[in-house]
């Protein structure tokens, strides 16, 4: 349709996609769920989770490095054969699809509860996904470029939010620092490491980035900065709302923005932040729809995977509408995260083994 479909993406645009897509987790149900098990140490969990995920990432990168320019689907088809490759791709696709459906439902719930209480859920859902689909249909380069354009505004808005709330912050509320105990924190961190599962999924997009080096630096920087950001914001929530009040609050980010004001005149600054937040969530889900279509298209070895975006968006809405209420969304999310942790954690090792086997066989011949 247009040239941006084939256009490759530079390092900084690629980084900003992850700064947005991963950084978004600071504003959704992820944080409240982590506080529930992490208590006053909830803010450490994102750092620990990322540390666990990075181990898997490094293993995967060692394979990718040997086959520069190839994405995850191409590699698994080479080393795993048609059946193994297809299976791995479909597994990744299924994990990503369910995750997208549950997270997007979480976002729609937030919009419904905090902003538009009288609008029906399906209408909000359709509008969000339609906007996301529209952005995704412009191609990966378009998502990347929008992210790059908006990234400074978004980080600026978060900075502004913290600056306004600075007076209400009391860092003493972070104590006792170990929360439920060191072991419990490490365990929760490990169990939830799939919240950074995108770092594994992202490797599918290697061919879309100009150089392999740009990909490596972009994804590493994007994820590390995002996890620091999530962790810092969680510390801010905790030091404003205090434990155990924090676990009673359904959406801390939105509550925090509700407390903001610029002096006496602009007392309802939340509309500014909610506006920003809506724009970013559209980009966030655009990225996911693109990724879903990409993974599924590659699993079936289709060339025109762009045509799959509309069905993917529809599928996300249908699956997302299944949970009955906001609390069910939460339990599905928990369940999904623990299963995907196994998938994202084990997959790089499986691929490494397959690759090792492939190399051994090909070295002989």
Partner 1 sequence: MRKLKLALILPLFLVAGCWDHLELEEQAFVVVVGLDKGPGNTVEVTFQIANPQIGSSDIGTAEGEPPSDTVRFTSPDILSAKELANSVVTRTINFAHLKTMIVHEALARDEAFPHIAGAAIRDPELRREVALIVSREKAYDFIQKNRPRLETRPHKYFELMQQRWQETGFVPFSTFNQYLQQQVVDSMFLAIYATADPKNYRVSRKDDYLAGEVPKHSGDPVQMMGAAVFRNGRMIGTLTGQQMRWAQMLRHKSNIDAFITSFPDPLDERAMVTVRLFKNGGTKVRLNLAKERPDIHVTIPLRAQILSFTSLQPYATDTEKQILLERHLKEEIEQEALDVIRLSQRKFQGDLFEWELIARKQFMTMPAYQAYGWARHYRKANVKVKVDLRIENFGKQRTPYSETVKGGD
What tokens were used for 233?
């914001």
What tokens were used for 337?
């995260």
314 binds partner 1 (CB under 8 A): no
303 binds partner 1 (CB under 8 A): no
Interface characters, 31-70, with partner 1 (x: CB under 8 A): --------xx------------------------------
Q: Measured from the CB atom, is 245 or 327 closer to partner 1?
A: 245
Which of helix, strand or coil describes residue 179? coil
Binding test (CB under 8 A) with partner 1, winner from 119, 307, 331, 357: 119
Binding test (CB under 8 A) with partner 1, winner from 264, 304, 360, 362: 264
180 binds partner 1 (CB under 8 A): yes
Interface characters, 181-220, with partner 1 (x: CB under 8 A): x---------------------------------------
How many DSSP H helices and E strands does the chain contain?
A: 14, 0
By CB under 8 A, the count of residues binding partner 1 is 33
Given the rule CB under 8 A, which of 88-96, 97-105, 188-196, 262-270 is the region that contacts partner 1? Answer: 262-270
Binding test (CB under 8 A) with partner 1, winner from 1, 82, 83, 248: 248
Task: With beta carbons less than 8 A apart as the criterion, state whether 274 and 254 touch.
Answer: yes
User: How far does CA 251 lie from the centroid of its chain?
Assistant: 17
CA distance 195 to 42: 14
Q: Measured from the CB atom, is 54 or 274 closer to partner 1?
A: 274
Task: With beta carbons less than 8 A apart as the criterion, state whether 84 and 354 touch.
Answer: yes
Q: Measured from the CB atom, is 170 or 327 closer to partner 1?
A: 170
117 binds partner 1 (CB under 8 A): yes
The conformation of residue 325, written as its DSSP 8-state character, comes to S
Task: With beta carbons less than 8 A apart as the criterion, state whether 321 and 105 touch.
Answer: yes
Least CB distance to partner 1 at residue 161 (A):
15
Q: Measured from the CB atom, is 62 or 119 closer to partner 1?
A: 119
CA distance 7 to 292: 19
Q: Measured from the CB atom, is 76 or 185 closer to partner 1?
A: 185
The conformation of residue 111, written as its DSSP 8-state character, comes to I
Interface characters, 224-243, with partner 1 (x: CB under 8 A): -----------------xxx
- DSSP per-residue codes, 52-86: HHHHHHHHHHHHHHHTTT--HHHHHHHHHHHHHHH
Task: With beta carbons less than 8 A apart as the criterion, state whether 249 and 31 touch.
Answer: no
**Token match 């620091």: residue?**
228
Enumerate the β-bridge partners of residue 266: 262
List contacts with partner 1 (CB under 8 A). Answer: 39-40, 113-120, 123, 170, 172-173, 175-181, 241-245, 248, 255, 258-259, 264, 267-268
């Amino acid at each position: 349709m247009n040239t941006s479909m084939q256009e490759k993406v530079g390092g900084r645009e690629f980084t900003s996609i992850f700064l947005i897509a991963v950084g978004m987790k600071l504003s959704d149900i992820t944080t409240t769920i982590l506080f529930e098990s992490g208590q006053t140490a909830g803010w450490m969990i994102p750092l620990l989770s990322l540390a666990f995920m990075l181990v898997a990432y490094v293993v995967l990168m060692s394979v990718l490095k040997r086959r520069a320019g190839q994405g995850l689907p191409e590699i698994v088809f080479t080393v795993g054969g048609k059946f193994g490759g297809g299976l791995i791709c479909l597994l990744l696709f299924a994990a990503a699809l369910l995750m997208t459906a549950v997270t997007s439902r979480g976002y729609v719930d937030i919009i419904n509860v905090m902003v538009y209480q009288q609008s029906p859920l399906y209408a909000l859902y359709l509008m969000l996904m339609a906007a996301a689909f529209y952005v995704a249909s412009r191609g990966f380069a378009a998502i990347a470029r929008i992210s790059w354009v908006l990234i400074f505004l978004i980080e600026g808005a978060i900075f502004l939010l913290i600056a306004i709330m600075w007076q209400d912050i009391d860092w003493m509320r972070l104590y006792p620092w170990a929360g439920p105990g060191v072991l419990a924190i490490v365990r929760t961190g490990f169990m939830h490491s799939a919240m950074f599962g995108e770092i594994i999924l992202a490797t599918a997009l290697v061919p879309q980035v100009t150089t392999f080096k740009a990909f490596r630096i972009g994804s590493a920087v994007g994820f590390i900065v995002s996890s620091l950001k999530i962790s810092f914001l969680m510390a801010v929530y905790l030091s404003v709302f205090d434990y155990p009040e924090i676990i009673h609050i359904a959406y801390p980010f939105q509550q925090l923005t509700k407390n903001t004001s610029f002096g006496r005149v602009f007392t309802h600054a939340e509309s500014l932040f909610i506006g920003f937040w809506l724009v970013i969530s559209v980009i966030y889900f655009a990225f996911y729809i693109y990724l879903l279509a990409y993974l599924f298209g590659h699993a079936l070895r289709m060339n025109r995977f762009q045509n799959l975006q509309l069905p993917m968006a529809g599928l996300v809405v249908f699956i997302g509408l299944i949970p009955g209420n906001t609390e069910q969304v939460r339990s599905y999310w928990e369940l999904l995260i623990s299963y995907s942790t196994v998938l994202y954690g084990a997959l790089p090792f499986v691929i490494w083994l397959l690759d090792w086997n492939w190399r051994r066989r090909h070295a002989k011949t």
